[in-house]
Structure formats: structure tokens, C-alpha cells
Amino acid sequence: MRLSRVDHAVASGSGDSGGPVFSLPSPDNGKVIAKGIISGGDNGTVVSCGAGTTCTWRSYYADIQESLGWYGLTFVSN
């Protein structure tokens, strides 16, 4: 799966792999919606984010439902 920041600000950077991808519901109910796990950035969308770090405004992630299904798992929340 792919995610992009429409304002071309930082979406992810070096070392973010394995981090969460989520969305916020509207209206805000204090919860988040799990989407996936960051797997990498698009090297064609590099943006400045600090010395020694490569950041991108477009990133790729593994879909949470597909990842869980691969292992026969399900997502349970309160």
C-alpha cells in the first residue's frame, strides 16, 4: 500500500520501518484506526528533515489486515 502527504511534508524517514500507520476518525472519538506497518519510503519523493536522515513525503506500508491474515490472526480492540 502507499501513503502520501498532499502538502509534501515528511511522511516517514530512515529508521521508521516497522512503525504504525493509522488514521483518525471524524468526528474524533479518542481512538485511532490501524492501517498498517511502515515498510519504506519512495526515494523519488525525498524531503529535508535533518542531518544524516533521509525522509520522504510518499511511503509504503504493509496493510494490517493482510499482514494479520497471513498468520491467521485477527485484530481485536476495545
Residue 78 pLDDT greater than 90, yes or no: no
Alpha carbon distances (Å) from 14 to 2, 23, 32, 49 = 17, 21, 24, 10
**Residue 9 domain flag:** yes
Domain count, the chain: 1
25 domain-assigned: yes
pLDDT higher than threshold 80 for residue 57: yes
Q: How far apart are CA 47 and CA 54, in angstroms?
A: 7
pTM: 0.84
User: The domain containing residue 45 runs over which residues?
Assistant: 2-70
Is 78 within the bounds of a domain?
Answer: no
Q: Is residue 75 part of a domain?
A: no
Tell me whether residue 76 is in a domain: no
Say if 53 falls within a structural domain. Answer: yes
- pLDDT for residue 55: 96
Phi/psi for 75 (5° steps) reads -100, 125
The answer as to whether 77 is a domain residue is no
* Predicted confidence (pLDDT) at residue 76 exceeds the cutoff of 90: no
User: How high is the pLDDT of residue 44?
Assistant: 97
